[in-house]
Amino acid sequence: MTDDHSSHTPPPLNRRTIMGLAAAAGLSALAVQAARAEAPLSRYTYKDTRNLVALVEEAAGLIEAEGEAAFTAFGEEGSRWFNGSTYLFVYDMDGNTLFHPISPELLGRNVIDLRDIDGKPVVQEVIDIAKLPERAANGWVFYRWQDQRQLSPIWKSSYVRKAVTPTGKTYVVGAGLYDIKVERSFVEDRVNLACDVLMKDGKDKAFALFKDSASRFVFLDTYIFVLTATGDTLVDPAFPTHGGRHMMDFRDFTGFQPIRELIGKLKTQESAWVQFLWPKPCATLPSRKLIYGRKLIINGETLIVGADLYLATPIWMKVENTASWPPSLPA
The model's pLDDT over 90-107, given as tens digits with 9 standing for 90+, comes to 999 999 999 999 999 999
* pLDDT above 90 (res 240): no
DSSP code string of 138-154: EEEEEEEE--TTSSS-E
* pLDDT above 50 (res 127): yes
Q: What percent of the chain has pLDDT over 90?
A: 74
**Do 172 and 212 sit in the same domain of this protein?**
no
Residue 329 domain flag: no
**Do 127 and 32 sit in the same domain of this protein?**
yes
* Number of domains present in the structure of the chain: 2
Q: Which of 103-112, 152-161, 237-246, 305-314 shows the lowest mean pLDDT across its residues?
A: 237-246
Coil, strand, or helix at residue 274? strand
DSSP letter at 146 equals -
> Does residue 320 contact residue 46 with C-beta atoms inside 8 Å?
yes
Beta bridge partners of 178: 156
**Do 74 and 21 sit in the same domain of this protein?**
yes
Dump pLDDT digits (tens) for 130-170. Answer: 999 999 999 999 999 987 666 789 999 999 999 999 999 99
> Does residue 175 contact residue 158 with C-beta atoms inside 8 Å?
yes
Residue 165, CA distances (Å) to 64, 168, 169, 275, 283 in order: 4, 5, 5, 44, 50
> Does residue 287 contact residue 280 with C-beta atoms inside 8 Å?
yes
**Do 214 and 314 sit in the same domain of this protein?**
yes
pLDDT band, very low/low/confident/very high, at 129 (cuts 50, 70, 90): very high
> Does residue 114 contact residue 122 with C-beta atoms inside 8 Å?
yes
Output the domain CATH number for residue 108: 3.30.450.20
**Do 66 and 162 sit in the same domain of this protein?**
yes
**Do 193 and 142 sit in the same domain of this protein?**
no
Residue 85 domain flag: yes
Dump pLDDT digits (tens) for 11-25. Answer: 444 544 444 443 444
* pLDDT above 60 (res 1): no
Range of the domain at 215: 184-324
Coil, strand, or helix at residue 279? strand
* pLDDT above 60 (res 234): yes
> Does residue 173 contact residue 88 with C-beta atoms inside 8 Å?
yes
**Do 219 and 312 sit in the same domain of this protein?**
yes
pLDDT at 201: 97
**Do 63 and 196 sit in the same domain of this protein?**
no
* pLDDT above 80 (res 29): no
Alpha carbon distance 115, 111 (integer Å): 9
